[in-house]
Amino acid sequence: MENKTPTPHIEAKFGEIAETVIMAGDPLRAKLMAERFLENPVQYNNVRGMLGFTGTYKGKRVSVQGHGMGIPSIGIYTYELYNFYGVKTIIRVGSAGAMHPDLHIGDLVIAMGACTNSNYASQYRLPGTFAPIADFDLTRKAVEAAEEFGFRYKVGNVYSSDIFYDEYSSLADWQKMGVLAVEMEAPALYMNAARSGNRALCICTISDSLVTGEATTAEQRQTGFTNMMEVAFSLI
């Protein structure tokens, strides 16, 4: 692995980031995780306000960091973490919109697979369609943790869109395929993990429902979705 640190997006030196990183789109959610879960957290990044911290959790070294919104943004940060900082495991915790009638505000979705309308995979010049999936061991342990905590959850496919304001309203077509929820980042994370030979998992909390019309505020999404964090940190 070539040492290209610091990178254009992360100002940490090699060795300042743990082999396991828990990431969130909102850097303030990363800050919340550092304050809530880490012992002796040290900030290693503030480039573009994308906060990153390293500390310990129950004696194990772990980092938390923001990754921004959308596949291009998480694609940059996870590529650099896997390929330049020696990171082996990345767990994303984020919000998602429910597409399944049995999912409600606060429920967890453990993303076993990630469908997408992004052309992120085109860079690999594959002679077909790549199916981005999570690491099985992380998925299994996340299910066990959710069961132990007593959290409501579902496991399955998410749809990761490049489009937030969808002119066509295409989500109904994905819903017919049994897709559980919509978010915006998982495929790039899963593809970068696959390409670098590392591990990844995305755990989302339902913040709104396209079925029932339920919704939450930005503040609730930033500070209130701690169950997915409990599951993520239990995997370390």
Tracing tokens 């993303």 back to the chain, one arrives at: 111
At 10, which amino acid appears?
I
Residue 191 token pair: 């593809």
Of the residues 26, 107, 135, 208, only one is catalytic, namely: 208
CA distance 9 to 133: 26
173 is catalytic: no
Give buried/exposed letters for 152-171 (b at 16+ CB in 10 A, else e): ebbbebbbbbeeeeeeeeeb
Q: How far apart are CA 22 and CA 64, in angstroms?
A: 5
Which residue numbers are catalytic? Answer: 208
